[in-house]
């Protein structure tokens, strides 16, 4: 069985609006609903993790709705606690990425069925990336070795549970799995799978939909 955890418990402080970004509308539907639909299409069950004050507004698309924690990793742990013990694959997805397709969920999950412990979507980095501290460039990182990593990320359930057992924090779940020494496979990501971080990102998402393609 494949279960997905959709994370929507962030306060979106960088977004700078009163409504957290995952509740903003895109083509008349909230970002969280776009994510739930893709997750539901590709999984046997979905756990939605929301902030306490949004529990009432949770959609029927989720099988289980629970309250998140103060960090992303804590929210994942709270969601994971509700994933049934017989789920072999767990996919974690940020509600802030409304344009991820069900096909991308299926692609990362397929890697686990084929034997991987973890699989993430990645796209080549097009900017030149420099390591900077105190306003000074310390290093230019070799771009050919870099990938911008997205969600949905799929895991063998037992591996994800072990990665989160110590209660550590990280910006994605794959980082916690890497810390265990497990191998994380990279599949091609989707360029349209942007993360809504600033209000203008919604305009880009609208344009992607106008163009007729999520992928």
Residues that bind ligand C5P (CB under 6 A): 7-10, 22, 49, 68-72, 75, 94-96
Element (H, E) at 158: helix 157-165
Q: How far is the CB of 133 from ligand C5P (least distance, A)?
A: 22
Q: How far is the CB of 110 from ligand C5P (least distance, A)?
A: 24
Query: Are 96 and 196 in contact, with CB atoms under 8 Å apart?
Result: yes
Query: Alpha-carbon distance 81 to 85, whole Å?
Result: 9
Query: Alpha-carbon distance 119 to 186, whole Å?
Result: 6
Q: How far is the CB of 205 from ligand C5P (least distance, A)?
A: 14
Q: How far is the CB of 195 from ligand C5P (least distance, A)?
A: 7
Q: How far is the CB of 29 from ligand C5P (least distance, A)?
A: 16
Select 62 or 116, whichever has its Cβ closest to ligand C5P: 62
How would DSSP label each residue in 5-70?
Answer: EEEE----TTT-SSS-GGGSEETTEEHHHHHHHHHHHH-SEEEEEE-GGGGGG--TT-SEEEE--S
Select 94 or 117, whichever has its Cβ closest to ligand C5P: 94
Select 95 or 182, whichever has its Cβ closest to ligand C5P: 95
Residue of this chain nearest to ligand C5P (CB atom)? 10
Reduce the DSSP state of residue 163 to 3 states and report it: helix
Select 116 or 196, whichever has its Cβ closest to ligand C5P: 196
DSSP class of residue 143 equals G
Query: Alpha-carbon distance 151 to 194, whole Å?
Result: 10
How far, in Å, are 10, 31, 81, 140 from residue 192 at the CA level?
A: 22, 14, 31, 27
Select 71 or 215, whichever has its Cβ closest to ligand C5P: 71
């Amino acid at each position: 069985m494949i279960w997905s955890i959709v994370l929507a418990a962030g306060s979106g402080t960088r977004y700078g609006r009163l409504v957290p970004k995952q509740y903003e509308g895109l083509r008349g539907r909230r970002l969280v609903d776009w994510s739930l639909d893709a997750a539901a299409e590709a999984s046997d069950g979905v756990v939605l993790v929301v902030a306490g004050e949004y529990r009432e507004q949770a959609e029927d698309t989720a099988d289980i709705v629970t309250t998140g924690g103060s960090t992303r990793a804590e929210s994942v742990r709270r969601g994971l606690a509700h994933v049934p013990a017989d789920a072999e694959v767990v996919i974690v997805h940020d509600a802030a990425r409304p344009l991820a397709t069900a096909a991308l969920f299926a692609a990362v999950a397929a890697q686990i069925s084929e034997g991987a412990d973890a699989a993430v979507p990645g796209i080549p980095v097009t900017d030149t990336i420099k390591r900077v501290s105190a306003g000074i460039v310390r290093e230019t990182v070799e771009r050919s070795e870099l990938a911008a990593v997205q969600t949905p990320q799929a895991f063998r359930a037992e591996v994800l549970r072990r990665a989160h057992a110590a209660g550590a924090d990280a910006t994605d779940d794959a980082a916690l799995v890497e810390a265990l020494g497990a191998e994380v496979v990279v599949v091609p990501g989707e360029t349209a799978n942007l993360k809504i971080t600033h209000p203008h990102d919604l305009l880009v998402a609208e344009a992607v939909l106008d163009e007729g393609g999520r992928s």
